[in-house]
Structure 1
Amino acid sequence: MNKTLTTLCLALSLGTLVACPIYPPATVVVTYHANGATGGTVPAPQSVTTGGIIIVGNTGNLVRSGYAFTGWNTAADGSGTAYAAGDDYNGGSLDLYAVWIVSLASIDLSVGSLSPQFDGVITTYTVALDETISAITVTAITAASDATIYYSLAQPMTLAMGSNPLTITVTAANGDSQAYAINILRGACFVTEWQIDNPGDSITLPLIDISNYVDVPYACTVNWGDGASSTITAFDDPNRMHTYAAAGSYRVSISGSCDGWSFEAVPASRLAITKVLARGKAPVFEGLVFLNFSGCSKLTELAGGGIPVCTNILFMNESMNRIFEDCSSLTSLPADLFRYNTAVNDFYRTFDNCTSLASLSLKSSVAYR
């Protein structure tokens, strides 16, 4: 290494002043590699002598026929350390290789829609369907003409009530493969949609203590819409809260027994829920005690199918007190919203401050105050 400067330093062990060399700071370089790309350009190398380097994304629009870019890795085969755009790197010089997964071009459904919206790099999806839908055809289109597709279930597929998992595996001509998982939910799940504004934001399901009313334990499974799932066995179970790594819209489905739901218990989550896509059948809300969306001002959609009737507590079947109060973004109501609730005699402030509703149609025998 070349010496460029000298200075005097104190050699304590000798008690004398000697000339000590000062070397220039080492230059750290991050070099990017296309790793099989068939088009585009790799990002220019990044170099610094002090401080760190912010890893860039696919700024040169690298493409590889039949594949999707998912990030960078220190090993060409993807077995090393993964890096993503925005990561802060503070080590020595580094070589990063593009990571590719075999990709589908699209996934088409004969009914319903994928959540999240299809993207070749996203490999886990949910489809929520009404209980009246008994079959579906899922069609996957490959990104490469010589790739093959395998379905874990023959198409079209007959749907059972509840969860119907499907795996689609796409295999490239060279043997590389990638699996896409789709959970098709029919009827028996309570499905909601939530908007996450910032990475790291959390939502908490508004579960409440129902032990004073019914002896129906919480026993449900939650699919959070980002590939994660949790089992909940109590109203205060820590698993009722979930943190999302990325901003976006997420479809959350609940299957099992979940009988107390009130946003008065968790007001912080009120502004995140935007849609109720499927209300669920038994055992979801089988012994329903409370169902309350009060204060959910960004709730825009309510699924049809009606509000379940509590078979255990009569007074809960007679009152819809404030359950949609301050839902100011609701523009319409499903015609069958109260089809099961023939004993209701009190709609006190049920739609108070639902300012986007153009009209309400209620039986004359129902008291609306």
Structure 2
Amino acid sequence: MKNFYLTFKTIFTISLLVLVTLILATSCRNPIVKLGSYQVIYDGNGADGGDVPIDENGSLPKDTRAYSEGDEVVVLDSSNLTKTGYKFNFWNTKADGSGILYTPGETLIMDKENITLYAQWLIIQTYNIIYSGNEYAGLELVIDYTSYSEGSPVTILDKGNMIFDGYAFLGWNPDSDGEEAIYTAGEIINMPGHNLSLYAVWTQLPTFSITYNGNQYSGLNVPTDGNQYLEGTEVTVLDQGDMILDGYSFVGWNTDSERTMAVYTAGQKIDMPAYDETLYAVWTQLPTYSINYEGNQYKGSDVPEDNNQYIAGSLIKVPNQGEMILEGYTCTGWDTEADGSGTFYLIGSEISMPDNDITLYAQWEIIPILELQLSEIENSVLIEDQIQLSWEYLPKGVIGQNVSFSSSDETILTITDNGIVEALNEGTAVISISSSDGIFEDEIEICVLPTFIGCIDLYNSGALSVNIPISSSNSSSNIIDWGDGTRSTWTTSSGLAHSYSETGWYDVRIGGDFIWFGINSSKFSRFFSRIENWGG
């Protein structure tokens, strides 16, 4: 029984030690807050950097120390707590700052509840530096995009890409009328508590000119440079412009009017000296050459002439044939060889004059025949009419060939070798013409109208005027030949009237489509003494 008691006592003691150990271990991880005690809690209130302050009172990681009502607590500072664009101001019991304000180091009296203090932030006021070109009116302005708080160090900028012709940049002045630079590029100043405007300060530089002198040239077209240049400015030397000195070539420019060699050439770049400069034209005399024209196959006296003298390289416009006419030929241009084996130039083209005299020979080409054409005639004729045909080769001026003629019906129309057509009987036939080589041809259709042929006797009638009783339905192709050289078309339903200049016998021919012919009329028998053909 004694042993059992000892064993139980031993087990109880060990169990009690284990329980105490567990209680101590748990209390180290989770400190026990005293009943009736409170804490001070700090809140960053929008902070985006650092840590909320820790009250190092005791060994606790945060101010979780239990305070009793009435305890005095020293308010901590902001430690490394930050908020972009703001600076820490103080603490407040309300996040919106409407509670009780506490500054770091101040003592607060603990109430009978936890107290949370919220960081209060103050916007950091910033300022800018504004740079003005002042008299400079360009677009390349200097801009400082940085905003500075009061007292911050600021490095003064340089003029950047601002270029004010004729002026040098000195620095900056806060007064737009200031003539001296108060601040220079690279200087460091402390930012004042306001925006700062700085105005560029410029100083005018002396300028110089270049004058061009034609030297031997006395005309009015001497080049002019109206610019003013700063010392060291790159200047482009002008060319001769419109200056022309006959028989001379422009070489360049020299600062000495007596020199014959050019020191500067057109387009050359020179640095402007610190004085006004005069450049004199330099000329060199050139040899000249002539151009002669030959008619070649044309042997007349109207060959173009050119009495001018040209320097090598001059551009000469090739003339046309002028008054030269070679029948059946056209002038196509000129050649340096009579047989056309040299250099050929079209009329109106340009020749660059070589460094020797040249002769150009006219080049002739036969004008090709394009067409053989009969001239227009009256397509309706009367029996016994004779018509002389005319024809031509086109284009005009070509050398033509012999021609031949033919009739599609020689009982109606015949034609001679020289183109005389004779109407034999009424009807329609085609007259054709062709060149001797058979390549070119043309034709014309001729209608021989039914023809009444009779003789008017004015000896016995005692009158010079006649009126033939006749009527027709055709209004376009009726023809009457009165036998006195008068010929006309007619459309009538009441007779044909005509007056003769003297008495006599006249063979009258009437062609067309008749409705009636008043042969029983006294007018008909009065005038016609005989009828040779009734016409159809």
TM-score computed with the length of structure 1 as normaliser: 0.29
Report the structure number with the largest CA radius of gyration. Answer: 2
Question: Could you say which structure has the greater relative contact order, defined with CA pairs below 8 angstroms and 6 or more residues apart?
Answer: 1
With normalisation by structure 2, the TM-score equals 0.22
